[in-house]
Amino acid sequence: MSCVVVIATNYEIFIPQQKLALFKERVVNRAFEAIETYNKSGKLETTSTNILSNMFFFPEHDVDLIFGEGIWDASRVGRGGKSRVVGSDVGFVRLIFAGGIIMVIVFYSQVFVFLKQLLGTSLGKHYWTGIVCLGLVIIIGEFKEPFVIAASGIVKTFFLILFAFTLTDKSFKNQSTNQLAHAKND
């Protein structure tokens, strides 16, 4: 903890002078924007949360809400002059426009089943706090962007964790061996 405090208060020592202004603009100002805004106006808000609060909207027709409109903007749309058809960065809002509430339920149930599988392994019982935190990161991330779909890093992390956990899980190995034996007998 003391190392973090020392680095946070003396970060200027560790960053080259030519990159210091850019670091302050992109990292420090954004990281402490909520505190700075609160000190100036008494409101706890940031520019990005204000913009994000306008991105929670749904299709106008009930049929489109249930089944979607089949609209999905690529992650690079909105950059370079192109505009989005669905003007929202919120993950579940974009999924609703793409495939409706049905798709949202199916998609997020897959993530829930995955996390539940992880918790069911022997390592998952030891690392349940990390798995719950991973679930919270996913939920928070989906409020900002289609986190699970757009960020391939999280999908790769999912599979690496599942692979590592199932390789070390004796009950999973025994269950897999039993399933293979039954398949050969059938």
Task: Write the DSSP assignment of the chain as a string of letters.
Answer: -HHHHHHHHSHHHHS-HHHHHHHIIIIIHHHTHHHHHHHHHS----HHHHHHGGG----SSHHHHHH-------TTTTSTT---SS----HHHHHHHHHHHHHHHHHHHHHHHHHHHHHHSHHHHHSHHHHHHHHHHHHHHHTTS-HHHH-HHHHHHHHHHHHHHHHH-HHHHHHHHHHHHHHHH-
Q: How much is the average pLDDT of 73-89?
A: 66
Higher pLDDT pick, 99 / 115: 99
Provide the pLDDT for residue 29.
Answer: 77
Q: Would the pLDDT of 34 be above 70?
A: yes
Among 56-70, 97-111, 115-129, which stretch is predicted with the lowest mean pLDDT? 115-129
State which of 60-69, 77-86, 118-127, 140-149 shows the largest mean pLDDT.
60-69
Provide the pLDDT for residue 12.
Answer: 73
Q: Would the pLDDT of 63 be above 90?
A: yes
Provide the pLDDT for residue 100.
Answer: 92
Provide the pLDDT for residue 105.
Answer: 93
Provide the pLDDT for residue 23.
Answer: 80
The token pair that represents 96 in the structure block? 């609703």
pTM (predicted TM-score): 0.63
